[in-house]
Amino acid sequence: MIRHDVKRMTATACALTLILAAAGLAQSSASPAAKKNVAIRAGKLIDGKSDNAVANALILIEDGKITSVTPGGSPPSGVEVIDLSNATVLPGLIDAHTHILLQGDVTEEDYDVQLLKQSIPYRAILAARNAKIALDHGFTALRDLETEGAMYADVDVKTAINRGEVPGPRMFVSTRAMAPTGMYPLLGFSWELELPHGVQPVDGVEGARLAVREQLSHGADWIKYYSDHGYHYEADGVLHSIVNFTDEEAHAIVDETHRLGHRVAAHAIGSDGIAAALRAGVDSVEHGDGLTDAEIDEIARKGTYWVPTVMVGAAVAPGRGGNWIKMVNTERDAFGRALKKNVKIVFGTDAGGFAWTEMNETQEFHYYVEYGMTPMQAIRTATSSAAELLGWSDRIGSIEPGKYADLIAVTSDPLKDIKALDSVSFVMKEGVVYKNEMK
């Protein structure tokens, strides 16, 4: 949602590991067991790709990867069997738009406090907590779309997870994000004060290319930029916006990112910002409330992904007032039209824009079904479609041989009631069980 010296990042990583260890969140006696060969008996299997669920499926897992998926079947002798025969098993969920370093962003005051009164090490500690919350809710992968002033601390959290220091989902991070000078908070303070920036201020074509290189060199997987601000309705009834970057600047961001083998996400809420992002050639449009029919046709033609983040708009609208309340209905209308045109819609919540401790990310599914998707379509937005967006379709997003054993289970059938996903009872990531309330 909507400057500290880099040398301090080492302190961030150290503080994160030491304090989390003291708090009992680092690997300890309560940590999940090491990878081992297991068989999972699924009462019902939703594999993330097929149109129908499979009853009584046997999933064999070796060294963290799925080796076979068989209807019926018997496990090999000597292999531990995890009995999920009374549950529905699904691929681990993927949230393609989060902010683990943000703790709610309803008002300017919420945001200012985090950037001005909380240190980056402290925010990194909360981020590790948030990653664990997401994992407990069944999200085994997150695309985290910027640190909101916390520099490259998302890379530190990702590294700590990958090294087994703290439990959490797979992280795909975008570090600082970009906006031109004066187009993103912190704003409105005395010019005499030197303040942190919520993003990396970027100006000019060469500045854009340099910023991409800097962020990638510090560990960014994705590049994110803010295409617009100032959302407003005009006489034509369309949700308009003020475009941030010139076309030349936006194209430079996208071109340099693609040249270096990475992908670009653009925050674009109003029609003008969406059109500018599409002209630049971004890989995903984030939010996209003001999509017009022409832009829906264009996004479908180009195969650009749309990550609508419906629940955050509904969450912050009452507190922000103004156009934000109307924007919720505008996006609902756009969602229905985009669904009919087969736009590639991917699950994203903007968690962090609402407090991690207040709402379960799975509520985003409720809106997708309410807005016209079948439960199976909604599930795919957070499994196979999200994996495709990430460029990881060969590794995650579905339950089939060769993929990482990222699995979750719920006690009821989400194809009958999508709210079943609100209560995940079993979580496995790469063959390691992190949660099992099915015993």
- pLDDT given for residue 53 in this prediction: 96
- 61-99 pLDDT, tens digit per residue, is 999 999 999 999 889 988 999 999 999 999 999 999 999
Average pLDDT over residues 161-184: 97
Q: Which residues contact 95 (CB under 8 A, 6 or more apart)?
A: 134, 139, 141, 142, 143, 347, 348, 349, 351, 361, 382, 386
Ramachandran quadrant class, 225 (left: phi over 0; alpha: psi -120 to 50; beta: rest): beta
* Residue percentage of the chain with pLDDT more than 90: 85
Q: What is the separation of C-alpha 144 from the centre of its chain, rounded to a whole number of angstroms?
A: 5
The token pair at 244 is 């941030």
- pLDDT given for residue 106 in this prediction: 63
CB 341 within 8 A of CB 335: no
pTM for this prediction: 0.93
Q: Is 227 exposed, middle or buried (0-12, 13-18, 19+ CB in 10 A)?
A: buried
- Domains of the chain plus CATH, in order, are 38-91+399-436 (2.30.40.10), 93-361 (3.20.20.140)
- pLDDT given for residue 78 in this prediction: 87
- Judge whether residue 14 has pLDDT over 70: no
- 195-212 pLDDT, tens digit per residue, is 999 999 999 999 999 999
Phi, psi of 296 (to 5 degrees): -65, -40
Q: Which amino acid is at 69?
A: V
- pLDDT given for residue 34 in this prediction: 65
Average pLDDT over residues 149-162: 98
- pLDDT given for residue 319 in this prediction: 80
- pLDDT given for residue 19 in this prediction: 44
- pLDDT given for residue 69 in this prediction: 97
The DSSP code for 34 is: P
Q: Is 71 exposed, middle or buried (0-12, 13-18, 19+ CB in 10 A)?
A: exposed
Number of neighbouring beta carbons within 10 Å of residue 51: 7
* Residue percentage of the chain with pLDDT more than 70: 92
- Judge whether residue 362 has pLDDT over 80: yes
- pLDDT given for residue 414 in this prediction: 98
- 297-347 pLDDT, tens digit per residue, is 999 999 999 999 999 998 888 888 888 899 999 999 999 999 999 999 999
Average pLDDT over residues 265-292: 98
Q: Which amino acid is at 205?
A: V
Q: What is the separation of C-alpha 42 from the centre of its chain, rounded to a whole number of angstroms?
A: 27
Of the pLDDT bands very low, low, confident and very high (cuts 50, 70, 90), residue 110 is: confident
Closest to 432 in 3D by CA, of 170, 75, 142, 77: 170
